[in-house]
Structure formats: C-alpha cells, structure tokens
Amino acid sequence: MQRRAAGFTLLEMIVVLVIAALIIGIGAGAVAQLTEDHVLRKVAHDAEGVFMQAVTRTLATTQPQVVNLEALAQGARLSVRRAGTEEFISAEGQRLFLRPGGLCEPLTLRWQQDTAWISATLDPLTGGFAETEENL
C-alpha cells in the first residue's frame, strides 16, 4: 500500500494564488480612490490655511493682502464662482483682495480632478470655509 505524500497539489496552489490576486487587485483600486479623494481634501485644507493667514495678517498689520487664487490649485483644476454669479470660471489670473477693516468678497472655489471635485465657500470674516460640498 502506497501512502500519498502530505502537501498541496499544484491546482490547489493556483486557486489560492488567483484568489489572493483578486483580493489584492480590489484593495489596490480602493486605495487609489482614497488617495485621490485625500489629495483634493488636502488642497482645500491648505487653501483655507492661506486665506486664514491672509485675514490674520490684514487685521494685524492693517495692510491690504492679495491672495493669488491660481496658486491655490496645487495640481488640481481650480475654478471660482464670485458673488452674484452662477457659473464657475477658471482661477487663472484671478486674485482676492483683503482690505483692513472691510470684508472680502464672498466666493466659492472648486477643485477638480477627473470626475471628483470638492467646493468650498469662503467665510469673509474668518477666512475659513463656511461650507464645503464634495463629489468624490
């Protein structure tokens, strides 16, 4: 009587490798999507910091400040909706002027990469974002 050697067959090993490859592929796709979402959120967060610093400098120095909106894109496509308008236009060449003792113009910024986007409405008093909206 011949005993069968203990171990796995080649077919069993191939099945395990295929299942592992599927799990890794699904996980990699999910991580890539999370990374893209995180990039847009980070860009918006960085822009909020720039606005808040500019408002603080304006109040502390009583000197007007200018924020170059185009520089806030950081690799994403940035568009701006100014007060009283309905459509977003490219931020290219646009600036926001902050004057001491006065309010800045309310505006909404939208950063977009592919089909994902995040928009944030600037609070003129604090320089922070009053509300945000996402399509990630």
- Domain residue ranges of the chain, discontinuous segments joined by +: 10-135
From first to last of the 136 residues of the chain, give the pLDDT tens digit: 666 667 788 888 899 999 999 998 888 877 766 676 788 899 999 999 999 999 889 888 889 999 999 999 988 999 999 888 999 999 999 998 888 876 667 799 999 988 889 999 998 788 889 888 888 7
Scanning the structure block, which residue is given the tokens 């990630």?
136
Q: How far is CA 96 from CA 22, 37, 73, 108, in A?
A: 49, 26, 14, 12
Distance of CA 70 to the CA centre of its chain: 15
CATH topology of domain 10-135: minor pseudopilin epsh fold (3.55.40)
Distance from C-alpha of 90 to C-alpha of 68, rounded to nearest angstrom: 13
Q: How far is CA 59 from CA 14, 26, 129, in A?
A: 67, 50, 18
Distance from C-alpha of 70 to C-alpha of 3, rounded to nearest angstrom: 75
pTM: 0.71
